[in-house]
Amino acid sequence: MGKKQVMLPANEVDLTAVEYVPEKIEAPHLTGFWFKLFVKVMEAPVIGSFIASHLKEKNGITEILKNTVIPEVPMFIPQFPLQEQEPGVVCLGEDGKHKEQVDLALKYLPHYDPASRWSSDSGESSQFRCWIIRDYEYAYRNKLTTPSMVAEHFISAMEVFNSKQPSAPLLISFDPEEVRRQAAASTQRFEKGKQLSILEGIFIAVKDDIDCYPHPSKGGSKWFHEVRQVKADGVPVSRLRNNGAILVGKTNMHEFGMGITGNNPNYGTPRNPHNPKRYTGGSSSGSAAIVASGLCSAALGTDAGGSVRIPASLCGVVGLKTTFGRTDLTGSLWEAGTVTIIGPITATVEDAILVYAAISGSSPTDRIRLNPSLPNFPDLSSSESSNILGSLTLGKYTKWFKDVSSTDISDKCEDVLNQLFRRYGCKTTEIVIPELRELRTAHTVTFGSESLCFLNPDCEAGKGVRLTNDTRTNLALFRSFAASDYICAQCLRRRIMYYHMEIFKKVDVIVTPTTGMTAPEIPESALAVGETNLQVVARLMQFAMTANVLGLPAISVPIGHDKQGLPIGLQLIGRPWCEASILRLAVAVEEMSAEYRKKPVEFYDILKGNGFHDSTEE
């Protein structure tokens, strides 16, 4: 029996008395035989419930959900107060089309200088520079190559990746002839001068929980396509196709997004392009790896707990999560979710802006209900952009910021903040974020309950035994949550929203490391049967969950590497609907960090077709 506790209303909490409590997760790390046995025990009627209750009690979940009176009323979807208009922002009119959004975003990017991008000596520099979307458009328009030629380079590279042992496919649904067909149509449009947009002929991959016809949507499983047929593109995919993008197939992922490492015994676990012995992060694992490997300019992912930003950070690329309600989830497996958003993973911030422009925009009913602000972009072409940047105030919760597995991470992030102040005048102010443990509980219960609601009918119909051990373990835990637990989690969401809206009265952007650790090692025993390691999960997710529970926009930008050569990301969390501010800041962070960017050990130049680079074989 626990002792009853009563929380003060959020507006009466004394922030000066808030003590930071480091994250501590108590749970077993299991792989191989012992993990398979643990799954059987967790699913057993009596002992499984006992173990789930024990785990929740040891990690403070029971205390929060069962023994605590939370005075706030529930908030079942993120709800925001009206926000002031950001300075230096370009908004599309009500009658705007998605092609026009892309054209508008392109218009307000910095000047493109082909001489500097294509100079013959640029390849001799020690600084790694990947091709951006405007490089492809320049090459196509000036007949340096064609989408069909690039398609052949892409297909050849995929053959190399797919021949690796053990299997580690980036795409789990891939049809070379379908890629050739799209590329041929794109090549024809260039020949006739009728390209659809700047995204014409750009190779983009789609996560396996977003519909991309004619590919099935399996959610990384072996069976989901048997119970749900794909008859059309999901809305964001359709918008990319209408802009001329070449959709190459469905990327590998952690099954049904039930993990954050990217482990998938069903198809093989994708390897981190910077170190093949390390995880990519997940659940958008294949999406991040295919961009980091140079095979695609962009990929779509779904972000329910950092699962766009986390793999982007671990793979050294950019991951953008927009405000909840900003993109239409129709045609994804998470249409009914309240913590999930579809977002782009790209090589650069500029490319993220262009893809965001193409896919953003809710359905008319969603816009009335959720989104008082039309899609907006930062005007990066204006001479005032630096002044606007200098006016931004950044918020940092130092004790949280420094609670990472290695000082390499916090030191590198701190260095970026110092550079932002010296170069632009961006001031960093100390903030306090209460109830981070409660935030974790609210996310676990909300995502877990929504996932269980989605999968339960098929599990009850006998499909549950075909899930991976990782997914089955999580579902066993999620089944232990009661309806009252879900209500409590939504009451916590309202409290945490209040704290953050108060913080955003003082700062424009909250800054954190993207993850509390760099890419973890892949245990050999985890390849065949998966693993459960909640300590690693907590480290990877500790900074990411805020944006999902509250529906806030956030972006991860690569800023360098640790002493092991593994990428580090800086996360920028913005006010609701204020994507333009975090994108403007992200461009500056990217420019300052460009000299620290390294070519992954697994990288392919599909624009020039110079061949597969794998330094692990040198």
Which residues are catalytically annotated?
Answer: 207, 283, 307
Sequence-ordered strand ranges (E) for 25-66: 30-31
Nearest-CA neighbor of 546 among 317, 216, 287, 324?
A: 324
Query: Which residue type sits at 297?
Result: S
Looking at the chain, the number of H-run helices and the number of E-run strands are: 23, 19
**Strand, coil or helix: 510:** strand
Q: How far is the first Cα of the chain from the last one, in angstroms, to the nearest whole number?
A: 62
Question: In angstroms, rounded to a whole number, what is the distance separating the alpha carbons of residues 542 and 443?
Answer: 11
Question: In angstroms, rounded to a whole number, what is the distance separating the alpha carbons of residues 270 and 220?
Answer: 12
Nearest-CA neighbor of 235 among 324, 81, 133, 360?
A: 360
**Strand, coil or helix: 2:** coil
Question: In angstroms, rounded to a whole number, what is the distance separating the alpha carbons of residues 108 and 380?
Answer: 6
Question: In angstroms, rounded to a whole number, what is the distance separating the alpha carbons of residues 357 and 380?
Answer: 14
Nearest-CA neighbor of 492 among 36, 60, 3, 17?
A: 60
Q: Which two tokens stand for residue 215?
A: 């590919």
**Strand, coil or helix: 377:** strand
Question: In angstroms, rounded to a whole number, what is the distance separating the alpha carbons of residues 39 and 339?
Answer: 27
Query: Which residue type sits at 534?
Result: L
Q: Which two tokens stand for residue 394?
A: 């950044």
Instruction: Report whether the peptide linkage leading into residue 166 is cis, meaning its omega lies within 30 degrees of zero.
Output: yes
Collect all residues with Cβ–Cβ distance below 8 Å to 39 and sequence separation of at least 6.
469, 472, 473, 476
Question: In angstroms, rounded to a whole number, what is the distance separating the alpha carbons of residues 119 and 183?
Answer: 27
Query: Which residue type sits at 115?
Result: A
Query: Which residue type sits at 173?
Result: S
Collect all residues with Cβ–Cβ distance below 8 Å to 486 and sequence separation of at least 6.
445, 446, 449
**In the block, residue with structure tokens 């170190």:** 275
334 touches 304 (CB < 8 A):
yes
- H/E element, 184: helix 176-191
